[in-house]
Each structure stands twice: as C-alpha cells, then as structure tokens.
Structure 1
C-alpha cells in the first residue's frame, strides 16, 4: 500500500512538472535554427509544398524537392533560389511508388546527404461519394496520401534514429479528425496518418530517441488545386491561402509543436466521442459542410 501511494505521488509530481513545462514552452517556445538542415518536401511543385519551400528558402537550409510534375518542380526551385536558397535539388518521384521512393532516397543520400527534416505533403482529394469511388481510386488515394508517407519515413528515419536527431512533418487534415462528407477515402487516409505518427512518436520516445521531433498538420480546406474551388459557407471554418498555411507550418516546425490544427474551431472535433451522433450530423448541416462539398465536387464530371 505504501509503495502504491509513493508511486502515485511520484506520478502526479511528474504530470504536474510536465504540465508546467509545456505551459512554459507555449509562453516562451524554443525556436529551431534551420541553418545547415537538409529539408525534403514532397509535393513541392505547387500549392502548400511550393510555399513551404519558399518559406525555407532564406533560412540557410538545403532544399530537396520531390514531385511528379517536373516542370512545376523546377519552377519551385527557381523561385526558391530567387528567395535566397543556396542549395536546391529537384527529383522526379511518385511517392505512391515504393520502389521509386527508395531509389530516389538513395540518390538523395549520395548526392545531398542525410535528410534532417522530412515534410510529407503530397496528396490527392477525389471528392467522390463512397459507392462512386472505384476500388482502384480508393487504393490510389490511400497510396498517395498514406502509404507514400510510410515509404518516405522508412527511407529517411533510420539515419535520424542513428543520429538521434531530425524532424518528421506529416500533413494530415481536419478530415482525419472528423470523417468528411463525400471524402471517405480521403478521411480514412488522413486518419491513418494521425494514428501512425502518434504511434511512431511513442516508439521514438520510449526507446530514447527524443531528439527526433514530430509535427502533425491538420488544417481545414486550403485554396489549392486539391480543393478544386471549395468554398466554406461559414466563417467558423475559413479556407486559408497556401502562403499563410505554409508560414504556420514553418513556425510549428521551428517551435517543435506536435500538432498544428487550424482553424481553432477544428479542436472541437475532438469532442465527437462524447457527443451523440445525431448532434454531430446536425452540426455538419449547420456548418453546411455537405453543401460546400456538393458545390465543390458534386457538379464536376466524374473522372
């Protein structure tokens, strides 16, 4: 009994200590210096990926840009150099192709060095209803959005573990926290990312690899090609511009945040497990999420 009380008091002491440490980090966050870092960005040819590259450009980091769109990826490289980047390397890579990821990862290690900040950003959003999504399309969404991140993590994490140093940045979505109308495949892929990264972060922590940081990005819709003209019908869930989101992502990496959830109203999604399903469906209707999805994707021709 005495040992139980003692262990409980020690546990409470640790929890209180961690609480105040976290509170202090929010008030006075540490700020990572990016000089000398090797930053690899997937899906860098346009949208958020390009904007992240441009935000890193003046920060003295080496940029490694991966995309299937060589023309736009080269344009990102030119812009990054214009913005101050000294070393920029571009590679053609279909991140949903495991063999191609591993092949290009070997080239990066030989030609550039070990990646120290991995930013998984590539993704697709078909926007079809569940039964309208062909089996092959469902698999494609999971391959591009989820398995691509599995392959890049497996390719670059071993070197980070050996050095006990690095940063894993994985783009998920608010849809991974709240299954979104007309996006079953997309929501599933993003939820898988969140749970995988929470599990991986746990592994790294409990095996003493605390020098490797994790950041999970969970934004609502962003005004990119992925959104294809999506317009929110409520100010509670604004559609952000890529430049703004990229700034927040780089800031989250600098401050070593575990989650970047935006807008703040998305935090309310976490309470879904305590809320009756009918109320959640009413909230969806009140926020006009189904209407927004229908207007953005429902009127478009089927692929």
Structure 2
C-alpha cells in the first residue's frame, strides 16, 4: 500500500505542484484511523492514512493550495448489520471529493470512533468498539487466512 502511495506521489505530484492544481485521493479504510485485530491489515491502512496526512501537511507548508487532498475511509463492506453497498460508498466519496472534503468516513458513525480514540481514556474506545462490534470486524478474515495457512502447511 505505502509503496503504491509513494510511487503515485513521485509520478504525478511534481507536475501538480508546478501547476498548483490537482486532487489526490487516498483510500485507507476506517481501520487506518483506529485499529482492531489483524495488525498487519490495520498497519497497512495506518501507513496509507499517515502518508496522506504527511503529504497534506507538506502541501500546506509549501503553500500549494491548489492541490487538494481527500482521505476516504470506508468501513468494511458487507461487515455491518446493514452492509455498506459499494455504489453508496462511491457516491458518498465522490460527493466529498467534489466538495474538497479533507476526510470522508463511511458510514458517518466512524467519525465518532475516531473522536473517542483521541479524546477519551484508552478503556472507553475499547468498550465502544466492543459495543459496535468493531473489535471483531476482522475475525472472518483472520479465520479465512488461518485456514488457508493450515491447508498450505498440509501441502494441499
């Protein structure tokens, strides 16, 4: 993920900066703003979100105001009680991008999880994650990955 972000920046950013025009959109996922189980997945999302934040600050420090940035953080598709539909995510993201919104969390309740993480003691967001089911959101992926490793170890 991070290599892709860096390669993109090296390829397109110099011309965007020269023209003082463009829009960089980073898709990191909500787990780039707060973590849960599956540390390698979350770490890759944090890397993309951190790269985006640093890039945004760098553009502001150089007073390049014509190059806009948007961080899009959708929650896991089909993982909520009422699953997010890809088309709805795209529509929400495009609306935010076209309005130069700096960050887009989908669904909007994810903003709440991010704010809690930064304002309250460690135990409070942990309880909220449990209540919302965020603490177990990666369990299906973890089980699938472990089953695949088990099959590989057996030589299948």
Q: TM-score normalized by structure 2? A: 0.82
> How far did residue 281 of structure 1 move?
2.3
- Among 152, 173, 185, the residue aligned to 2:8: 152
| Greater helix fraction, Structure 1 or Structure 2 | 2
Deviation at 1:273, TM superposition (A): 2.9
Check conservation: 2:17, 2:64, Cα contact below 8 A: yes
1:125-172 deviation line (CA, Å, top 9, x unaligned): xxxxxxxxxxxxxxxxxxxx2221111111111111111111100001
Where do 4+ consecutive residues of structure 1 move more than 6 Å? none
Q: Post-superposition shift, 1:251?
A: 1.4
In structure 1, runs of 5+ residues without a counterpart are 1-144, 224-230
| CA offset digits 1:166-217 (Å, max 9, x no partner) | 1100001110111122x21121121222222222112212212111000000
Of 246-255 and 210-219, the range deviating more from structure 2? 246-255
Whose Rg is larger?
Answer: 1
* Aligned equivalent of 1:302: 148
SS in 2 for 1:162: helix
Whether 2:95 is the aligned partner of 1:258: answer no
CA contact under 8 A between 2:20 and 2:65: conserved in structure 1? yes
The one of 192, 196, 221 equivalent to 2:76 is 221
Aligned length: 147
Q: Partner residue of 1:18?
A: none
CA change 1:168–1:299 in 2 (3 A) is closer
User: Looking at both structures, which has the greater relative contact order when contacts are Cα pairs under 8 Å and sequence separation is at least 6?
Assistant: 2
Give the distance between the partners of 2:49 and 2:136, measured in 1 at CA.
26
RMSD (Å) for aligned C-alpha atoms: 1.9
